[in-house]
Amino acid sequence: MGNDAFCDRRQVFHLRPPSSYVHSHTMQLSLTLTVILLCVTSALTVLCGYMGQRPMNPHKGPRMLPWRFLMLLFFTLSLFLLVHLLTVLGLKQDQPLRY
């Protein structure tokens, strides 16, 4: 029997897509998109903060949305977008020197 029927294990486990495929499908946030998303998440943070601080109305029943958790979630996303915006604008920190 020949070895033609069997695959080499090194070829099977080291399959990778071509480098042109990997690099052509990466998504980068542009400056405009970053600013728009930062404004939207900031507005949603303020809205969720407002809705979460309102007094509870027992006649309407319990609140069905966790407004305070959503506020923290949108605030965290806003911080990430702010850091990304500063990086896009060129205000990035250089790597510390290693001794």
pLDDT tens for each residue of 38-70: 999 999 999 999 999 998 888 988 888 899 999
DSSP code for 62 = S
Residue 95 has pLDDT above 60, yes or no: yes
Say how many C-beta atoms besides its own lie within 10 A of residue 68's C-beta: 14
Residue 62 lies in a domain: yes
Residue 84 lies in a domain: yes
pLDDT tens for each residue of 77-88: 999 999 999 988
Q: How many domains does the chain have?
A: 1
Listing DSSP states for 7-41 in one string gives: --HHHHHT----HHHHHHT-----HHHHHHHHHHH
Residue 34 lies in a domain: yes
Full domain range(s) for residue 71: 28-88
- Predicted local confidence at residue 52, as pLDDT: 92
Residue 97 lies in a domain: no
Residue 80 lies in a domain: yes
Residue 17 lies in a domain: no
- Predicted local confidence at residue 75, as pLDDT: 98
